[in-house]
Amino acid sequence: MKDRKVVLTGVGIGVGIAIVLLLVFMAGVFWGAHGLRYSPFGRRQMMSRGFVANRLGHGVVGTIDSLGNNTLVVKDRNGQLDTVTVNNDTVIRQGTAPIKFPDLKKDENVIVIGEPQNQEGATLARVIRVIEPAAQNATGSGIFIRRMEGI
């Protein structure tokens, strides 16, 4: 009788732990899918929603080759030229500071996230991010390079 009680207690504890782990897993999936909007900690995800789109989709990374009226041409690492158009909804940032389209300069390194247009190779930019010079050759975020420069 005593052995049966010990076994049932062990099974009960095991089932309880399994239920707790399942609930924690499901909470993580829920918060991850909803961008931590409903997190009890009240914080947003570390990535800014203004820069990284939910579905990255179409994008261009490279150097500004030329600027026009609400358009820019970006040259990627392979030398391919990509036309990018902007509108009033396009978010343009340099670091964390918002900037305007006329503030962009030729030969600046940029990351563009947007949507393909009907024109061959054209991208309607949702977000344009100017890359800081210290980070342009980095394989990661550039933080390591900035720290090393300070030594």
- Phi/psi of residue 110, nearest 5 degrees: -135, 155
Which residues, at least 6 apart from 18, have a Cβ–Cβ distance to it below 8 Å? Answer: none
Q: By mean pLDDT, which of 8-12, 23-27, 56-60, 90-94 is the weakest?
A: 56-60
Q: What pLDDT sits at residue 91?
A: 93
Looking at the predicted structure, is the pLDDT value of residue 47 above 60?
Answer: no
pLDDT in tens, 74-94: 998 888 888 999 999 999 999
The domains of the chain, with CATH numbers, are 1-46 (no CATH), 58-134 (2.40.50.140)
Which residues, at least 6 apart from 55, have a Cβ–Cβ distance to it below 8 Å? Answer: none
Count other Cβ atoms within 10 Å, centred on residue 132: 14
User: Per DSSP, what are the bridge partners of residue 66?
Assistant: 73
- Phi/psi of residue 84, nearest 5 degrees: -125, 130
Q: How far is CA 28 from the centre of its chain?
A: 19
CA distance 70 to 85: 6
Residue 142 in tokens: 């550039």
User: Per DSSP, what are the bridge partners of residue 92?
Assistant: 128
Percent with pLDDT over 90 in the chain: 38
Percent with pLDDT over 70 in the chain: 69
